[in-house]
Amino acid sequence: EPEVTQTPSHQVTQMGQEVILRCVPISNHLYFYWYRQILGQKVEFLVSFYNNEISEKSEIFDDQFSVERPDGSNFTLKIRSTKLEDSAMYFCASRTRGGGELFFGEGSRLTVL
Amino acid sequence: RKEVEQDPGPFNVPEGATVAFNCTYSNSASQSFFWYRQDCRKEPKLLMSVYSSGNEDGRFTAQLNRASQYISLLIRDSKLSDSATYLCVVNKYGGSQGNLIFGKGTKLSVKP
């Protein structure tokens, strides 16, 4: 069964460092998303991406965050200068069309020290 | 009022029990409603969409009351494998289809 894959599964970084989280969405999917979940909290929308541009972003997704689809398969989330409060599980998701089921990856756990 | 509100539980029930989860949402213009399941430290997985007419999938029944802005999930004959956190999810009004607002979840623990 096709799935969304994410790497790394866990990354530990120092405050102020740049982090790139990688995702390979399901191959025929067109819409891509990043969500995050701080431990013990709810899942929160960060950004959606379609047709090689950001279609929507939340207030969490500030100038420290960026997304990119550098080739036909990868979808990355970059955090330029990590803060302690960026520690969370980051989920990538994709869907084939508007209204279709959203498929989540297993997540990348980011720990900022 | 929180955008999506759920009883956090935990609900501790014996195998075979029927358990009901409730959820309220704040934006009356919301269009799409879902129940997701999340196992500990795992990704959310779609359990079922919720339609105005109510819908059933095996042991699971979902109901939507738009007037009360209330969503429910009923699990009949609960199994050990149903132990998880159940997330009530609403599509953000005016947002894209993938802009989902998650509740904090209700934890279910099914005991032998």
Find the mean pLDDT for residues B46-72.
93
Find the mean pLDDT for residues B2-24.
94
* Of B99, B110, B105, the residue nearest B41 (C-alpha): B105
B60-85 pLDDT tens trace:
999 999 999 999 999 999 999 999 99
The pLDDT of residue B93: 74
Find the mean pLDDT for residues A34-58.
95
Residue B82 backbone phi and psi in degrees, to 5:
-80, -10
Is B95 near chain A, with CB under 8 Å? yes
Residue A92: Cβ-neighbour burial (10 angstroms; 0-12, 13-18, 19+): buried
The pLDDT of residue A38: 97
Asked if the Cβ–Cβ distance from A45 to B100 is below 8 Å, we say yes
Residues with Cβ within 8 Å of residue A108, at least 6 apart in sequence: A6, A7, A8, A9, A10, A11, A21, A22, A89, A90, A92
What span, in angstroms and rounded, lies between the C-alpha atoms of B17 and B35? 19
What span, in angstroms and rounded, lies between the C-alpha atoms of A23 and A12? 18
Pairing mode of beta strands A31-37, B70-75:
unpaired
A66-109 pLDDT tens trace:
999 988 789 999 999 999 999 999 999 999 876 678 999 999 99
Query: Of residues A78 and B95, which shows the higher confidence score?
Result: A78
Residue pair A34/A90 in contact by the 8 Å Cβ criterion: yes
The pLDDT of residue A40: 92
Is A19 near chain B, with CB under 8 Å? no
Query: Of residues A101 and B97, which shows the higher confidence score?
Result: A101
Q: Which of A44, A55, A100 sits opposite B96 (nearest CB)?
A: A55
The pLDDT of residue B54: 87
Residue B31 has pLDDT above 70, yes or no: yes
Widest pairwise Cα distance in chain A: 39
CA angle A48, A54, A55 (to 5 degrees): 65
What span, in angstroms and rounded, lies between the C-alpha atoms of A49 and A71? 14
The pLDDT of residue B94: 67
pLDDT band at B98 (very low <50, low <70, confident <90, very high): confident
Residue A28 backbone phi and psi in degrees, to 5:
-95, 10
Asked if the Cβ–Cβ distance from A42 to B103 is below 8 Å, we say yes
